[in-house]
Amino acid sequence: MLSELITNWSIYDKKIGAVLTLVFVIVINLAMGLLPHVDNFAHIGGFLSGFLLGFVFLIRPQSAWVKQQYALSSSPNSPLSIKKPKFKKYQCCLWVLSLLLLIVGFTLGLVTLLRGVNVNDHCSWCKYLSCLPTSRWHCNDTRIKKPASCTVEETGSELNMTCLTNGISKPFYLPDPTYDRITELCKQICQ
């Protein structure tokens, strides 16, 4: 909606009201993402993608071009004075720039995802985009348990565990594996 407002700014009557409404909605969405257990990266990614896609898909022809096309269809023998361009130059520039940013952004995101890169390891302050610690809550979720840097492949009752820090791999026979037992075995092979 924001990109559509920027692209077609000249056709809006109540510009300030439209901007304030959109800013209010954006602030509420980003503020909700600061709560624990809400992924603000999804909100930010959705906002940026939607913003750029709006420039790509919501480009609107100039009203002068539309009137000219209507005048030509109603009286085809009328002389053309000056042919109006369909889009303004800034609309075309925003379209090209947005399309390029979308392609680069989606490509980088996909490569990062497929390589298993945790961007938080390279950005010390990024964790605050998803959760802002306050006196009422903490951002470290102790309910979400992750094995201590091991990969686990399960085949029937056999677990093949590989420590990611030292590369040691060992098979274990566990008929009923529990999280605590897997964590304990992971710590053993990683030491």
The b/e string for 113-134 (b: 16+ C-beta within 10 A; e otherwise) is eeeeeeeeeeeeeeeebbbeee
Structural domain of residue 185, as residue ranges? 150-190
Model confidence pLDDT, tens digit, residues 36-80: 777 788 888 899 999 999 888 887 766 666 666 666 665 555 555
36 in Cβ contact with 131 (< 8 Å) = yes
pTM: 0.58
189 in Cβ contact with 170 (< 8 Å) = yes
Q: Based on the domain organization, do 117 and 160 belong to the same domain?
A: no
Q: Is 163 helix (H, G, I), strand (E, B) or coil?
A: strand
Q: Is residue 145 part of a domain?
A: no
Q: Based on the domain organization, do 120 and 51 belong to the same domain?
A: yes
Per-residue confidence at 8, pLDDT binned at 50, 70, 90?
A: confident
Amino acid 70: pLDDT: 62
Q: Based on the domain organization, do 96 and 154 belong to the same domain?
A: no
Q: How many domains does the chain have?
A: 2
Cα separation, 132 vs 80, whole angstroms: 61
Q: Is residue 103 part of a domain?
A: yes
Model confidence pLDDT, tens digit, residues 79-134: 555 677 777 788 888 899 999 999 999 999 999 989 988 777 788 787 777 777 77
150 in Cβ contact with 111 (< 8 Å) = no
Report the sign of the C-alpha dihedral through residues 169, 170, 172, 178, in that order: negative
Amino acid 143: pLDDT: 40
Q: Based on the domain organization, do 65 and 115 belong to the same domain?
A: yes
Question: Which pair of tokens denotes residue 87?
Answer: 């889009």
Q: Is residue 39 part of a domain?
A: yes
- State the DSSP H helix or E strand holding residue 162, giving kind and residue range, or none if neither: strand 158-163
